């Protein structure tokens, strides 16, 4: 058991039956009254961030989580199938816990967060940027570059991403997986 003095960013605790990760915290000592710790906690199952205040000295139930490297293999009726990079163990993951399933392509390296005690997967995180090939995009209109105009383009995974007018079919682009937006052209 830990106390509020052990709170730090990234710490995983159990609160009201849910696993929460500390996003940010602030120790407050007012001139009058008892000290307290104001935190923002992210629910590891739903991804929701909530504020929560702990009184100083409260006992916390710390949970262990592990990040493990996996490689995406394929999708079937069981979900998305991944293989551990070291042990070659295969596991199915439901679509709900994957951060950007529409940007996954075969062979993609990801990190899956597991609850160490129960061995259940909590979330699957893609790297911040992925490189994808544009399979279809409308040709850009010449002279239409006065403003930052975007057009829809379909990438090799089937997802649609808004790209600048100069991007053509067959080019490789870098896509931000957190916002699902175009980042840059890959040379």
One domain, residues 6 and 46: yes
Q: Residue 58 maps to which CATH number? A: 2.30.30.30
Q: Is residue 136 located within the same domain as residue 117?
A: no
Please tell me the distance from the alpha carbon of residue 185 to that of residue 50, in angstroms, as a whole number.
Answer: 37
Contact assessment for residue 100 and residue 177, using Cβ atoms and an 8 Å cutoff:
yes
* Same domain, residue pair 49 and 98: no
H-run or E-run covering 94:
none
Shared domain check, 89 and 57: no
Provide the pLDDT confidence category of residue 144 given band limits of 50, 70 and 90. Answer: low
- The CA-atom distances, in angstroms, between 86 and each of 69, 70, 71, 90, 124 are 8, 9, 10, 11, 17
Residues 171, 140 share a domain:
yes
* Digit-coded pLDDT (tens) for 117-127: 888 888 888 99
Tell me which DSSP letter residue 98 carries.
B
Mind listing the pLDDT tens digit for each residue in 70-118? 999 998 888 899 999 889 999 999 888 888 889 999 999 999 988 888 8
> What is the DSSP-derived secondary structure letter of residue 97?
G
Domain of 36 in residue numbering reads as: 2-62
Domain's final residue, options 88, 107, 125: 125
Q: What does the alpha-carbon distance between residue 98 and residue 109 come to, in Å, rounded to a whole number?
A: 13
Q: What is the domain count for the chain?
A: 3
On whether both 7 and 57 belong to a single domain, the answer is: yes
In terms of Cα–Cα distance, which of 113, 112, 128 is closest to 176?
A: 128
pTM of structure: 0.76
Regarding whether 158 and 139 lie in a shared domain, the answer is yes
State whether 8 and 55 are in the same domain.
Answer: yes
Beta-carbon-side half-sphere exposure of residue 162 (alpha carbons within 13 Å): 6
Q: Helix or strand or coil: residue 102? A: helix
CA distance 166 to 163: 8
Residues 107, 56: one domain? no
- Do 20 and 71 fall within a single domain? no
Shared domain check, 74 and 49: no
Residue 115 maps to which CATH number? 2.40.50.140
């Amino acid at each position: 058991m830990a106390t509020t003095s052990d709170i730090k960013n990234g710490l995983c605790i159990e609160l009201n039956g849910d696993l929460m990760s500390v996003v940010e915290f602030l120790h407050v000592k007012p001139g009058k009254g008892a000290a307290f710790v104001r935190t923002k906690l992210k629910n590891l199952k739903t991804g929701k961030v909530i504020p929560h205040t702990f009184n100083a000295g409260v006992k916390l139930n710390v949970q262990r989580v592990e990040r493990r490297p996996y490689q995406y293999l394929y999708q079937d009726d069981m979900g998305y199938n991944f293989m551990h990079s070291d042990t070659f163990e295969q596991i199915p993951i439901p679509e709900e816990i994957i951060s950007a399933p529409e940007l996954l392509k075969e062979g993609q390296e990801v990190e899956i967060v597991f609850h160490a005690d129960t061995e259940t997967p909590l979330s699957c995180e893609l790297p911040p940027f992925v490189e994808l090939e544009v399979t279809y995009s409308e040709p850009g209109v010449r002279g239409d570059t006065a403003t930052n105009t975007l057009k829809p383009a379909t990438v090799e995974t089937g997802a649609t991403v808004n790209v600048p007018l100069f991007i053509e079919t067959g080019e490789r682009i870098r896509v931000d997986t957190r916002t699902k937006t175009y980042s840059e052209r890959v040379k």
